[in-house]
Amino acid sequence: MKKRTKRLLMGAVAAVGLGGLGTAGAFLLKKRAFGEGRRRKQHRRAADVWARPGMRVTFRAELMPGREPSQRIFRVAEVLPSGRVRLEDFAGEHMEKEFEAVR
């Protein structure tokens, strides 16, 4: 193999290798950055929840048609880590979007 061809091939191999290392480094940095952000977000979510035990919530009218607003009000018994709530005297776990916005 000629010296010039050998130099060209070695340069191409080096470029591909360095590109791979750069890609791996960027992937690891991105993974670490998003991992920390996820932890911070979960920590913030624990402090900033949309409901508290004992709080009164009103189901949206679309979910309970034909009932007056006073019949759609329930009290929160427990807030789960997922953000869902369990209600007193009403079965199941419920999400924030099932209720009317707090005024």
44 pLDDT above the threshold of 80: no
- What pLDDT does residue 37 have? 53
- What pLDDT does residue 2 have? 84
- What pLDDT does residue 80 have? 92
% of the chain exceeding 90 in pLDDT: 36
Q: Using the Cα atoms of residue 23, residue 25, residue 26 and residue 32 in order, give the sign of their dihedral.
A: positive
CA-CA-CA-CA dihedral for 82, 88, 89, 95, to nearest 10: -30
Write down the pTM of the prediction.
0.53
d(CA 51, CA 70): 19
- What pLDDT does residue 57 have? 94
At 84-103, the pLDDT tens digits run 999 999 999 999 999 988 76
